A = this chain, B = another copy of it.
Amino acid sequence: MERRSFLKNAGVGLAAGSVAMPAIAQNAPTIKWRLASSFPKSLDTIYGGAEVMAKRVAEATGGKFQIQVFAGGEIVPGPAVFDAVKDGTVEMGHTVSYYFFGKDPSYALETAVPFGMTNRQMDAWMRHGNGGKLMAELFGKSNILVVPCGNTTTQMGGWYRKEIKTVADLKGLKIRIGGFAGAVISKLGAVPQQIPGGDIYPALEKGTIDAAEWIGPYDDQKLGFNKVAKYYYYPGWWEGGPQVSAYVNTKKWAELPKEYQTILQLACADAHVDMVAKYDARNPTALKQLVGSGTQLKQFPKEVMDACYKAAMELYAETSASNPTFKKIYDDYKKFMDDQILWMRVAEGSYNNYMHSKR
Q: Hey, which bits of chain A sit against chain B, CB under 8 A?
A: 3, 6-7, 10-12, 14, 16-18, 20-32, 56, 59-62, 64, 88, 91, 115, 118, 120-121, 123-129, 153-157, 216-217, 234-237, 240, 252-263, 265-267, 269-270, 272-274, 276-278, 280-285, 287-288, 297, 299, 305, 309, 338-356, 358-359
In angstroms, Cα B118 to Cα A92, docked, is 33
- With beta carbons under 8 angstroms apart, the residue of B11, B26, B216, B281 that contacts A124 is B281
Q: Are A355's CB and B115's CB within 8 A?
A: yes
Given contacts A25-B28, A263-B266, 20 further A-B pairs with CB under 8 A are A6-B32, A12-B29, A16-B255, A16-B256, A17-B258, A24-B24, A25-B25, A60-B60, A60-B259, A62-B259, A115-B355, A123-B277, A129-B281, A234-B346, A234-B347, A235-B346, A235-B354, A240-B351, A266-B269, A287-B342
Instruction: Output the least CB separation between A249 and chain B (Å).
Output: 9
Return chain B residues, CB-CB under 8 Å to A297.
Answer: 346
In angstroms, Cα B328 to Cα A122, docked, is 36
Return chain B residues, CB-CB under 8 Å to A351.
Answer: 118, 154, 234-237, 240
- With beta carbons under 8 angstroms apart, the residue of B267, B269, B345 that contacts A356 is B345
Q: Are A299's CB and B350's CB within 8 A?
A: yes
Return chain B residues, CB-CB under 8 Å to A216.
Answer: 347
The binding surface of chain A is classed by DSSP as helix
Q: Are A21's CB and B345's CB within 8 A?
A: no
Q: Are A17's CB and B355's CB within 8 A?
A: no
Return chain B residues, CB-CB under 8 Å to A237.
Answer: 351, 354
In the complex formed, the residue of B with least CB distance to A155 is B347
Q: Are B345's CB and A359's CB within 8 A?
A: yes
A353 and B350 in contact, given A61-B259, A254-B16 (Cβ under 8 angstroms): no
Instruction: Output the least CB separation between A88 and chain B (Å).
Output: 7
In angstroms, Cα B216 to Cα A333, docked, is 24
Copy number in the complex reads 2
Q: Are B342's CB and A284's CB within 8 A?
A: yes
In the complex formed, the residue of B with least CB distance to A55 is B262
Q: Are A353's CB and B355's CB within 8 A?
A: no
A338 and B359 in contact, given A25-B24, A281-B129 (Cβ under 8 angstroms): yes
Would you list 12 pairs from A and B whose C-beta atoms are within 8 A, ordered by A residue? Answer: A6-B32, A22-B25, A22-B257, A56-B262, A120-B120, A124-B276, A125-B281, A128-B280, A156-B346, A216-B347, A235-B347, A240-B355
Return chain B residues, CB-CB under 8 Å to A156.
Answer: 346-347
Q: Are B254's CB and A18's CB within 8 A?
A: yes
- With beta carbons under 8 angstroms apart, the residue of B118, B127, B287, B358 that contacts A348 is B118
Return chain B residues, CB-CB under 8 Å to A287.
Answer: 342-343, 346
In angstroms, Cα B278 to Cα A343, docked, is 13
Q: Are A353's CB and B354's CB within 8 A?
A: no
Instruction: Output the least CB separation between A197 and chain B (Å).
Output: 19
Return chain B residues, CB-CB under 8 Å to A14.
Answer: 254-255
In angstroms, Cα B6 to Cα A256, docked, is 13
Return chain B residues, CB-CB under 8 Å to A346.
Answer: 156, 234-235, 287, 297
Return chain B residues, CB-CB under 8 Å to A23.
Answer: 24, 28-29, 61, 64, 257-260
